[in-house]
Chain A
Amino acid sequence: MTISTPADSSSADSATSSLNAEHLRQRLEQLASSAGIRQWDLGAACSTDTSVQVDRGEAKQLKGAQRSSITVRVWNDDGLVGVTSTSDLSYSGLARALSGARDASAYGNPDDTPAFSPLATAPLAHLDQPQHEPRGILQLLDTLRDAERQLLGRHKAIGTVPYNGLAERSSERIYLNSTGACRQQRLTTASLYLYARAEETGRKPRSAGAVRLGYGASELDIAGCIDEAAERTIAHLDYAPIETGRYTCVFSPEAFLDLIGAFSSLFNARAVLDGVSLSNRESIGQQLAVPFLSIHDNGLHPGNIGAAAFDGEGTPTSPLTLLEGGVMRSFLHSEATARAFGVAPTGHAGLGAKVSVGPDWFEITATPGSGGGQAGLDRFNAGEPIVWIDSLSALHAGVKASQGSFSLPFDGWLVRGGEARSIEAATVAGDIRSLLKAIVGFEGEAKVTPDGLCPLVWVESLSVTGES
């Protein structure tokens, strides 16, 4: 069978970087009908990015990108699913994608076949996401140059800001399926990162940085980013090695969120079904952590800049309690895993033949009424050395999620007698299950970060390896 069509125009407009959902639907319906495909769905995305980098007052690289992509799934006559992705949104590109997906469906897994989400047409939550006009690359360049200049001026030891960038993005994503579901979301976002490098004579170089996100460049907290990058970099200048041993550690909100994120397979129903999670079907209702720890996944939190209104299967994003009072309450689900567990999809799916599942944005808080472990914190006196873990590195290599173990380099300070001194180079190691039960308490207000919300987290007796 061949398809004839009057033109091979694209369903994405590269000049305006927008998707035409109705155009896409008509083309898919025509192609699917011609090929005898009755059930299909599609995820499409389109974006325009502009970014700048500077180096000591000079523009280093100015970058623009226009991207478009689609993923098409089809169900064959045996009910098996196949998928194909492409960046070619022309008619011929869609035809080839549909053909590829149908070929792939011959290898669909009969034991685990996805279906349309029953929530793919449910109402979406309202997200307050103001749209901003792009400032343009030359204005971004001026802004970043000025930010770099200010950061370099904060301390004579700060010689360069080797990693920096200011970017703005306009994006759009669509979910369509053959029973009429149609999701569409447009978004503008901006980001700034500044990582400074400082070096004093006869001493090793030190580095630290900060990141800010917003819905537009005009919303970015540039001064706050400069302040944080400067403060953190300067605070690492006076360093010393630490003795290897067991320490009470205080995780910054960013560091603790990174750690929980790296072990998110604990909450992932896909990983549970695949047998690669530390959790299993019986984990729901079991005590996983200290009773004053609660963890929610809440992509709708106003602090989650650029939140998705729906997941890859069209299921609305919504808050989900994962851990309450230290007890596992629910897993993150796609349509297929939810069906396997007899629950509703939670809005955490990707789009594929085997659908991936992942978290949106964690809220890590004290269980209401628990006191947040204040009694535990009161046990510590000012004389006991504390290791403050500011940021963790190499999570991709040092976390064994399916085993529960971690061994990670970190930047931080040794706090003794009320005085903090930067740690030269060290790793922290442990087991996530033990760590969750060794949390002593929380300190301070929960802080909003790009990855979630979290207070300072105190953990007892973690193994720290230093160079002393």
Chain B
Amino acid sequence: MIATPSASPSTAANASLADGFGDHWRPRLETLLADGRAAGADLVEVFLERTDHLGVLAEQERITSVTPAFGMGAGIRVFLAHRDGFVSTNDLSEAGLQRALEQALGMLGLQRNSQAASLFDGLTPLRDFAATKADWLQRCPMLQEATVRLLDGTAALQRRGRHLQARRGSYARDWQEVLVAASDGTFGRDVRLHQSVGLNVLAADGEHRAGVGRRYGTEGRPDDLRQWDAEASAAEVCESAGTMLYADYVEAGQLPVVLANRFGGVIFHEACGHLLETTQVERGTTPFAEKVGEPIAHAAVTAIDEGLTGGAFGSLSMDDEGMEPQRTVLIENGVLQRFISDRAGELRTGHARTGSGRRQSHTFAAASRMRNTYIAAGPHTPDDLIASVDKGLYCKSMGGGSVGPTGQFNFAVEEGYLIENGKLTKPVKGATLIGEAKEVMPRISMCANDLELAAGFCGSVSGSIFVTVGQPHIKVDSITVGGR
């Protein structure tokens, strides 16, 4: 076999890496932090990471792509008053880290000063959230097992689907070890393990075409792929594709809509969640900046962002700034309670940190980002909501969405049905819902009792991160439905 890193002669830096991150990094990190403080920085933060990724793609009856990747890097952030400089590097040698620190200091007009006294008292004892996660990577399915599971999935699609022109199964495993150290004493280590598996089909019959996909994801569950019910997933995908293949395009207009639970939560994520991040307060792009304590939504709405739900895609033991996550009630009975905040957000807006400083990798500075974000369950049944609509749209499955700098949001409906006289009738496709948070939040008038969460990926200022969206079935009294 070819030598692995631990079997090769190596420099001191890479000897440290071979052992992973831990307390043995303390001397080097304390030197960096002390140097930064001595140069005049208010605060210095170092984020180290190692990653190990595996992607597998199955198409029809073949494995068509296996994409392993591994990496490492550091992000060094220096604060001076309300400003910050951030430098990332792949070079974790002592010289590489010192060079990155000097660059970050230089951005703020600071220089290393060996004569100056440092105002750094040293790191606190390491909080090692990774101690119980050492075997996670080894407990994940090996490549052979992953390929077999995916081929189970594409075979199940073949058995259950009709008119399928393309069948795909994909698996992604992202392992990340992080070490966070800051000159306020913060010193924490964690390991994160995100796995997701998805099935996609393209059904075609003459001019009719329908592409349908579902993806399932968890955090911190090495056995996730083994537990995956490929048959059930395939059944769900094929049922949707069969229905949507012959669906008409939705008629455009202003309509009441009922949004299904699970990924229906993308409406809150896009319409409101992003506007409750302190990054938006800093930019002046949220209409809710001065609204804490005031109603911003219908009294039926209570919304939560947290990082605690076991196995949920957006859960974490500590955020990327070394803070343990909290359960943050954003909106209670329609009244705005709190914002989602990170270190820079607290510094610049005064909103206390919530353990929400997150980033895709060491190449991004952390920012206030959502974790598991959902609307709480209400008192109604899903049937109550549908029965309350004379003519409207039921959105069973949602696609992605986005929100712009003026708070205008949009998201796509993958699988929709007309509601006529309180009942679901024919399937429709091609709908896009658009609106503005300030207008739509007061129109969420009914919440059902069937809260469920769904895994997703959120792209924003600090990159693409793992999140959960969720909600029970909800009713929006009126929203613009784009269609034909």
B402 within 8 Å of A (CB atoms): yes
B99: interface (CB < 8 Å): yes
**In the assembled complex, which residues on chain A have CB atoms less than 8 Å from the CB atom of B252?**
244, 427, 429, 463, 465
- 8 A Cβ contacts from A428-456 to B: 428-430
- Chain A residues whose C-beta falls within 8 Å of the C-beta of B378 in the assembled complex: none
The answer to whether A405 touches B249 (Cβ under 8 A) is yes
B contact residues around A83 at 8 Å (CB): 66-68
Known A102-B2, A107-B63, A463-B484: A137·B106 in contact at CB below 8 Å: yes
- Complex formed: what's the CA distance from A179 to B66 in Å? 24
B91 touches A10 (CB 8 A): yes
Q: Are B399 and A397 in contact (CB under 8 A)?
A: yes
CB pair B209–A404 under 8 Å, yes or no, is yes
Are A206 and B10 within 8 A (Cβ)?
A: no
A31 contact set on B, CB distance < 8 A = 2
A404 (CB) vs chain B CBs: closest residue: B209
B90 on the A face (CB < 8 A): yes
A10 CA to B211 CA in the complex, in Å?
Answer: 45
Tell yes or no: B118 within 8 A of A by CB. Answer: no
Asked if residues A61 and B84 are in contact (CB atoms below 8 Å), the reply is yes
Of the listed stretches A1-9, A219-227, A379-387, chain B binds: A1-9
Residues B449-468 near A (CB distance < 8 A): none
Contacts known (A8-B14, A87-B72); A96 close to B4, Cβ less than 8 A: yes
**CB-CB contacts of B402-426 with A at 8 A, as 1s and 0s?**
1011111011100000000000000
Once the chains are docked, how many angstroms separate the CA of A93 from the CA of B252? 55
Within 8 A of B (CB), among A42-94: 55, 58-69, 82-93
Q: For A354, what are the chain B residues with a Cβ–Cβ distance below 8 Å?
A: 57, 64-65
Q: List CB contacts (< 8 Å) of B19-72 with chain A.
A: 56-57, 59, 62-72
Contacts of A89 in B (CB 8 A): 90
- A61–B87 Cα distance when bound, in Å, is 11
Contact of A275 among B99, B165, B404, B410 (CB under 8 A): B165
Query: Which residues 379-433 in B have Cβ within 8 Å of A in the complex?
Result: 399-402, 404-408, 410-412, 429-432
Q: Does A422 contact B (CB under 8 A)?
A: no
* Contact between A397 and B402, CB atoms less than 8 A apart: yes
Please report the C-alpha to C-alpha distance between residue A107 and residue B56 in the assembled complex, in whole angstroms.
10
Bound CA span A466–B68, Å: 46
Quick check: B86 and A61 within 8 Å, CB to CB? yes
Does residue A185 face the partner (Cβ distance < 8 Å to B)? no
Name B209's closest neighbour in chain A (CB-CB): A403
Q: How far is the CB of B382 from chain A (nearest CB, A)?
A: 24
Q: How far is the CB of B62 from chain A (nearest CB, A)?
A: 5
Shortest C-beta distance, B395 to chain A (Å), equals: 13
Q: Is the CB of B90 within 8 A of A99?
A: no
Interface residues on B, range: 35 or more
Judging by beta carbons under 8 Å apart, are A88 and B82 in contact?
A: no
CB distance from B374 to the nearest CB of A (A): 20
Q: Provide the residues of chain A in CB contact with B402, threshold 8 Å.
A: 393-394, 396-397
Docked complex Cα distance between A2 and B2 (Å) = 6
Cβ-defined contact, A65 with B88, below 8 A? yes
Q: How far, in whole Å, are A400 and B210 apart by their CA atoms in the complex?
A: 9
**B310 within 8 A of partner (CB):** no
Q: B406, A207: Cβ atoms under 8 Å?
A: yes
**Chain B positions 257-294 with a Cβ under 8 Å from a chain A Cβ:** 282-285, 287
Q: In the bound complex, do residue A90 and residue B436 qualify as a contact, i.e. CB atoms below 8 Å apart?
A: no
Contact at B202–A276, with CB atoms within 8 Å? yes
Residues of A within 8 Å of B410, CB to CB, are 393-394, 397-398, 409, 427
Candidates B88, B99, B363; contact of A15 at CB < 8 Å: B99
Q: Is the CB of A112 within 8 A of B284?
A: no
User: A295 near B: Cβ within 8 Å?
Assistant: no
Q: Which of A63, A109, A195 contacts B87 (CB 8 A)?
A: A63
CB distance from B433 to the nearest CB of A (A): 9
Residues of A within 8 A of B401 (CB): 394, 397
Q: Are A55 and B67 in contact (CB under 8 A)?
A: no
Closest A-chain residue to B344, C-beta based? A61
Smallest beta-carbon distance A245→chain B, Å: 9
Cα distance, A158 to B131, chains bound together (Å): 52
Stretch of B176-184, B316-324, B475-483 with 4 or more beta carbons under 8 angstroms from chain A: B475-483
Known: A10-B91, A276-B202. 5 other contacts (CB 8 A): A8-B14, A86-B69, A352-B65, A394-B400, A466-B480
A: which residues have CB within 8 A of B?
Answer: 1-8, 10, 12, 14-15, 31, 34-35, 55, 58-69, 82-93, 95-104, 107-109, 111-112, 137-138, 159-160, 162-163, 195, 197, 204-207, 244, 274-276, 352-354, 393-394, 396-398, 400, 402-405, 407-409, 425-430, 463, 465-467
B-side interface residues toward A, CB under 8 Å?
A: 1-5, 7-11, 14, 56-57, 59, 62-73, 82-91, 96, 99-100, 103-104, 106-109, 143, 147, 165-166, 202, 209-211, 249, 252-254, 282-285, 287, 363, 365, 399-402, 404-408, 410-412, 429-432, 434-436, 480-484
List, sorted by A's number, 13 A–B pairs whose CB atoms are closer than 8 Å: A7-B9, A12-B90, A67-B88, A85-B67, A88-B5, A88-B90, A112-B64, A163-B283, A352-B67, A354-B65, A397-B410, A400-B430, A407-B412
